[in-house]
Structure 1
Amino acid sequence: MSVEKTEALVIGAGQAGIAASEHLGANGISHIVLERKRIAERWRSERWDSLVANGPAWHDRFPGREFAGDPEAFVPKEKVADYFEAYAQQINAPVRCGVEVTKVSRLEGRPGFRVETSDGVIEADYVISATGAFQQPSIPPLVPASVPVAQMHSSQYRNPAQLAEGAVLVVGAGSSGVQIADELLASGRKVYLSVGPHDRPPRAYRGRDFVWWLGVLNKWDAEANPASEHTTIAVSGAHGGHTVDFRKLAARGMVLLGRTESFEEGAFGFAPDLARNIEAGDANYLSLLDEADAYVAANGLDLPLEPEARRIGTDPACMTDPILSLDLAEAGITTILWATGFHCNYSWLAVDALDGAGKPRHQRGVSTAPGVYFLGLPWQTRRGSSFIWGVWHDAKYVVDHIAKQRGYLAYAPAVAPVTEPA
């Protein structure tokens, strides 16, 4: 039985995989893109119903195609998925849906890789893992399954009607957690929100969205450091986009709690760090306003003053007198919603490309295992790597590297003529 061969194999047809296909095609590199479900599947079936992009349409896109409609709008998740499907058609991306990769291993005695799939074996010179880092929901092993309360990860949440009646505890106050908590509160639920350390940028300031400010202030190109890699960002494009304000959420009836630490005998324990976490988020927020004001002054820009943006509200009682222990039954909590991120899962990658924790060993997406590449990782090359436009640029870097390697491997020295001895 013949084995199919290709130069490059891309695993995953989300935004990272489609970006890789565009750059591979532009470089004349034959390739196949395998997707176990549908193009941009996670946007369709692993996010809540009301999710929108966290950046405006003019910014969160690939260079080769604009979103239809208002460029300032925050695009709903289904239209984001439709965008990538249309983009794949536009660039004639060779995507095969419904094909799952089960194992990638090196070929024996020759260069390249053997890729085992649900649809047969493919041999490839290069493999690009475009599955990203959001593969397996991460739920801390705190609450035993025997506790009579529903537990779900944010990737399983769809809408308030999905949950049993009663109060909800949301653990994690990054973009997902705070938006879901806000939606549940607006639906009439009693909501408790566990808030850890976070950055809290303004949604917009002086007539410009924060993505514009991060651009002109050169913050999108900031490189990762151990602190930044694990910083939670509280930002929202919901309701036309607004700045996340934990004090306003508390004023509407949400109960804020510190970082979740323990669970014992039906009760959660929380760190006494709520005020510190919120104040640190305020400092992050105000520092960006300071930098924006300085940029406006230095460049003589005609952008309107916005003094009200610096007004920080009164601390709610849950900040000044924090709750350190919360009994689930007494609080009427029937659902715990874990907005606690994801684990990566590269169990199918049987090459020496992972560290002891199973995470990719790479530099800007170029693996320590020659011929293997990664795409879609947070902070892969810069702060912007997690955004749609950022992964497009990361993909260009990865494919440029493949093109350079391809050139080296194609080199053959000229054969000098053999001279007969006199």
Structure 2
Amino acid sequence: MTPEKTNTLVVGGGQAGIAMSEHLAKNGIDHIVLERHRIAERWRSERWDSLVANGPAWHDRFPGMEFTRSVADDFPGKEEVADYFVDYAKMIGAPVRCGVEVTHVRRNEGRPGFRAETSAGVIEAENVVAATGPFQRPVIPQIVPEETGVVQMHSTGYRNPDQLPEGAVLVVGAGSSGSQIAEELLRSGRKTYLSVGPHDRPPRSYRGRDFTWWLGVLGKWDLSTPGPGTEHVTIAVSGANGGQTVDFRRLAAQGMVLVGRTEACKGGKLSFAADLAGNIAHGDSNYLSVLDEADAYIARNGLDLPKEPSAREIGPDPDCVTDPIQELDLAGAGITSIIWATGFTLDYGWLDVDVFEASGKPRHQRGVSPEQGVYFVGLPWLSRRGSSFIWGVWHDARYIADHIATREGYLAYRPMPQKALAGA
């Protein structure tokens, strides 16, 4: 069977793939978008039931379309976010093929382009864009042995409190996912333990403006990639319950037990690092630094925004912080479930090109890899801090599409015949 041909093959039909399709089309570049499940599938089937976007509807969207069910300051639910991308793909006429998995991509030998083997046949393309995003393979640290008898799952497997067996729950990881899941469990009446590692803790809003607005006017969305080891700083921010600042002291006052980083398990007993107080203090420092910069911006620009002195009120450390638990007997504490909100690792096993570091991280500059014709979009810090956010992906995709169009222009160049030049 003759392989199907296209100029650019986009692998992944989430926010990154849909954004790429829009900009490729605007550049007149023939392309196909392949999605192994449904458009924005991870929003539907790999997130908990009550998940909402971490940014308000006016901010976390593409420029060309607003949310239809949520108003500007609402935090859209996960189904609405997924529906948004489905509707956007229809609006722009994106050539998305769902239910098609890409199993292997390699460069052609002796001629340009790539050969992609898929569940629906072979496709040949001049360019390949990996738009599978950062949430590819869930990471569960091998700390608690299975024989302990505790139900363990990644946050991608959690749906709601009712799916868990009776008993207390330990949530490991206090970023956006972990803090929201832990609070939901606490509200459901569960005894909840939360393992808190290093994190940033921005205010949800300050002086009448959401923190996404503050990061915008303060220029923080455009920060370039930070130093090694700091690319994946955990951010504790939430749009749940109408949008509130994540406050671990408040959660502790409501009955949540905070512990440090989960380090080891032996004989059914978990041990925790002695870093809880330091992690909480670092989060407070980050929080206050945003308030300081916001106040300075307001004063410098003479803005009439209401003062909010209560925002700087930080209560005393709870007992679980001043006298932290260093070891916890799982059975003795009645813990029957552990939810690992511990992030993801990349998985580009299908992409057989020499552009990856030993860690599996792709080498690229703003999504352009050293292998001509191979591109990446949707990764954190691809070009700046905002890269993994919905609007940031859209702008990164535009840059990559423009790069492809420019390269195609060079490839299309044909010099004028020498005879014609002589005749001139």
TM-score range, shorter chain: over 0.9
Q: 2:90 & 2:282 partners in 1: Cα distance?
A: 45
Q: 1:386 & 1:256 partners in 2: Cα distance?
A: 29
RMSD, matched Cα: 1.0
- Is 1:24 aligned to 2:24, yes or no? yes
Q: 2:407 & 2:389 partners in 1: Cα distance?
A: 27
The alpha-carbon deviation at position 419 of structure 1 amounts to: 9.9
- For 2:272, the equivalent position in structure 1 comes to 270
Which 5+ residue runs of structure 2 have no aligned equivalent? none
- For 1:2, the equivalent position in structure 2 comes to 2
CA deviations 1:183-219 (Å, max 9, x no partner) are 0000000000000000000000000000000000000
User: Do the aligned partners of residues 232 and 419 (structure 1) sit closer, same or farther apart at CA in structure 2, a change above 3 Å counting?
Assistant: closer
SS where residue 291 of structure 2 aligns? helix
Which 5+ residue runs of structure 1 have no aligned equivalent? none
- For 1:247, the equivalent position in structure 2 comes to 249
Q: 1:261 & 1:143 partners in 2: Cα distance?
A: 10
User: Do the aligned partners of residues 298 and 97 (structure 1) sit closer, same or farther apart at CA in structure 2, a change above 3 Å counting?
Assistant: same
CA deviations 1:50-96 (Å, max 9, x no partner) are 00000000000000000124110000000000000000000000000
Q: Percent identity?
A: 70
- For 2:332, the equivalent position in structure 1 comes to 330
Q: 1:217 & 1:395 partners in 2: Cα distance?
A: 24
Q: 2:6 & 2:39 partners in 1: Cα distance?
A: 21
The alpha-carbon deviation at position 227 of structure 1 amounts to: 4.7
Q: 1:285 & 1:125 partners in 2: Cα distance?
A: 47
Q: 1:409 & 1:261 partners in 2: Cα distance?
A: 54
Q: 2:360 & 2:212 partners in 1: Cα distance?
A: 32
Moved more, 176-185 or 344-353: 344-353
- For 2:371, the equivalent position in structure 1 comes to 369
Moved more, 219-228 or 294-303: 219-228
Paired residues for 1:351-390 under 5 Å: 351-390=353-392
Q: 1:26 & 1:49 partners in 2: Cα distance?
A: 36
- For 1:408, the equivalent position in structure 2 comes to 410
- For 2:132, the equivalent position in structure 1 comes to 131
CA deviations 1:219-250 (Å, max 9, x no partner) are 00001112531210000000110000000000
TM-score (norm 1): 0.98
Q: 2:41 & 2:125 partners in 1: Cα distance?
A: 24
SS where residue 146 of structure 1 aligns? helix
- For 2:120, the equivalent position in structure 1 comes to 119
1:236 partner letter: S
2:90 partner letter: Q
Q: 1:116 & 1:40 partners in 2: Cα distance?
A: 22
Q: 2:421 & 2:20 partners in 1: Cα distance?
A: 49
User: Do the aligned partners of residues 92 and 143 (structure 1) sit closer, same or farther apart at CA in structure 2, a change above 3 Å counting?
Assistant: same
1:40 partner letter: A
Moved more, 223-232 or 401-410: 223-232
SS where residue 355 of structure 1 aligns? coil
TM-score (norm 2): 0.98
CA deviations 1:300-347 (Å, max 9, x no partner) are 000000000000011100010010111100100000100000111111
- For 2:285, the equivalent position in structure 1 comes to 283
The alpha-carbon deviation at position 411 of structure 1 amounts to: 1.3
- For 2:214, the equivalent position in structure 1 comes to 213
1:148 partner letter: G
Q: 2:202 & 2:219 partners in 1: Cα distance?
A: 15
Q: 2:160 & 2:267 partners in 1: Cα distance?
A: 29
